[in-house]
Amino acid sequence: MEVLSPCRLFCCYNRHPFISRNENMILQDEKIKWFRNAAGYIAAHKDKSFVICLCKGATESSALREIISDCILLTSLGVRIIIVFNGDEKIEKRLRSDWDSHNNKNITRLSQINTVSEIIGSIRNDLEAFFAFHSFHLPGGKQDILLTSGNFVTAKPIGIINGVNYEFSGKVRKVNSIAIQKQLETNSILLISPIGFAPEGDLFHLDSNEVATEVASSIKADKLVFLNALPGLLDENGEIISEIDLSTKHETNEKNLLLKFCQKACNNGVSRCHILSYELNGALLQEFFTPYGCGTQVTGTSSEKLRQAKNQDLNQILDLIGPSEKEGSLIQRTRDGVKAKLSEFFVIESDGFVVACAALHPYQTTAEIACMVTHPNYRGKKRGNNLLDYIEKKGKELGLKSLFVLTTKSEHWFKEKGFSNASLDELPQARQDEYKQERSSIILSKKL
């Protein structure tokens, strides 16, 4: 399949023959802004492998066509896609109460396995038809979509557990990762069914979540995505948890099965897992091409790094502090001025982007905290707290006795962190000489 450039994709998606010229210009402005913001993500995701699990209910959802369209778009942008689908909802409708389960595992009888196989085959045919349809109706013309399915997964029986015989419900025995990688190199979209043969020839119904996890682990996928009925993992108040760092304590339902699959995948080399809703239009695009996402991201370690600034961060720091300088909450700084003191800056990096920064300018036994900014899309997640804690730790390592800050808007926030009012004559003489009376900045200090 041809990998389209972002520019060509933008042109393809930018024709609106049935709206006014002014409306079209507004839409174009919005799309230009979106593509500019997404450009870094587009480059970052190129040639990356995403395993997408269509969880229970997804293939029966009215949003399925949009999900398939977005998968084709991701492939056009150079993302390598593997789709694992689930057929439980359709199977339950056919078998009704005859399809038993125990401990969240379905029990597939000998008399049912052929019916289950038939239903899964019909779902696969429907998905192939949807992909064919959308490949003919892409904006900008037909694209050749290589959709591949095959026996990439071999199975084995679950067996008898605590006296319960799961019969023809199985689990993953082995994943042919070499064959999968070869198919991905041809820009094919892989379609993997939740069913597999054992070496002896027996057919088993598999848990699609387990299949997706094992496939992602075997190829060390960059992302494992679960498209399920919920908008993400929820905290005790029912709010979406935007990120879970598995290396730290996290407050969520430990019994959540998808979280357990995410833990297993991350422990086996998958970079990140995402839990999204299949009902949310454009969930894949929102999660991967916007800074705030739309569901829960699970990582083995935090996706954010707090570190000292590097030379390559200069442009992003200038972009980050620019709006605050324009509104007057920060003093104006020249590019050369920031560059000269870049070693005194600290940044929080997320997905390769600088989302927060602060500077620590030393004056013998004290130092000024300056230029403390968090990107608007990343506020409210204690990044300011983390920066301040990091800077205070650095101050102690340097043997400083105190820190001070000049602020026009954040007085109360700093006072909550232990700062108190100070006078101008308490500042180092060099900083007193630079003080701008017209700004009427409030001076605060804190002993270390």
107 domain-assigned: yes
| End position of a domain, from candidates 302, 325, 349 | 302
pLDDT in tens, 175-184: 999 999 999 9
CA distances in angstroms from 189 to 30, 182, 289, listed in the order given: 30, 12, 20
* Same domain? 330 vs 220: no
Nearest to 9 by CA among 133, 140, 132: 140
Say if 403 falls within a structural domain: yes
Give the pLDDT confidence score for residue 8 in this predicted structure: 45
In a domain, 295, yes or no: yes
Residue type for 112, please? Q
- Mean pLDDT (whole number) for 355-370: 95
Whether 365 is in a domain gets the answer: yes
Together in a domain, 164 and 281: yes
Q: Provide the CATH number for the domain around residue 120.
A: 3.40.1160.10
Does 98 lie in the same domain as 24?
A: yes
Show which of 302, 326, 351 is a domain's final residue.
302
Token couple for 210 = 């387990």
Lowest mean pLDDT among 2-6, 127-131, 245-249: 2-6
| Residues 54 and 188 occupy one common structural domain | yes
Lowest mean pLDDT among 5-14, 95-104, 273-282, 330-339: 5-14
Q: Are residues 226 and 248 in the same domain?
A: yes
Lowest-pLDDT range, 247-256, 283-292, 293-302, 344-353? 247-256
- Mean pLDDT of all residues belonging to the chain: 88
How far, in Å, CA of 220 to CA of 10, rounded?
A: 31
Same domain as 437, residue 424: yes
Tokens at 40, concatenated? 């870094």
DSSP-derived secondary structure letter, 426: G
> Are residues 293 and 400 located together in one domain of the fold?
no
Residues 165 and 298 in one domain: yes
Domain limit, last residue, from 276, 302, 328: 302
- Give tens-digit pLDDT for 59-70: 999 999 999 999
Position 310 pLDDT exceeds 60: yes
pLDDT of residue 97: 79
pLDDT of residue 112: 93
193 and 93 co-located in one domain: yes
Instruction: Assign residue 351 the CATH number of its domain.
Output: 3.40.630.30
The C-alpha angle 247, 251, 256, rounded to 5 degrees, equals: 90
Residue 21 confidence class, pLDDT cut points 50, 70, 90: low
Residue 192 and residue 311 share a domain = no
Q: Which domain holds residue 418?
A: 305-447
For 29-85, list the strands marked E by DSSP: 49-54, 80-85
Residue 96 Ramachandran class (φ > 0 left, ψ -120 to 50 alpha, else beta): left
Question: How would you class 217 by CB atoms within 10 Å of its CB: exposed for 0-12, middle for 13-18, buried for 19 or more?
Answer: buried
Q: What φ, ψ does residue 376 adopt, rounded to 5°?
A: -50, -35
Lowest-pLDDT range of 18-27, 290-299, 325-334: 18-27
Measured between alpha carbons, how far is residue 124 from residues 83, 115, 118, 280, 418 in Å? 11, 14, 10, 22, 61
Question: H or E segment at 65?
Answer: helix 64-76
Number of structural domains the chain divides into: 2
In a domain? residue 1:
no
Position 1 scores a pLDDT of: 52
The pLDDT assigned to 192 comes to 97
Q: Tell how strand 195-197 and strand 203-205 pair up.
A: antiparallel
Question: Residue 412: which pLDDT band, with cuts at 50, 70 and 90?
Answer: very high
Question: How distant, in Å, are the alpha carbons of 106, 222, 227, 275, 426 from that of 272?
Answer: 28, 6, 14, 10, 49
54 part of a folded domain: yes
The per-residue pLDDT for range 137-164, each reduced to its tens digit, is 665 556 677 899 988 999 999 999 888 9
pLDDT in tens, 432-441: 999 988 888 9
- Cα separation, 126 vs 2, whole angstroms: 24
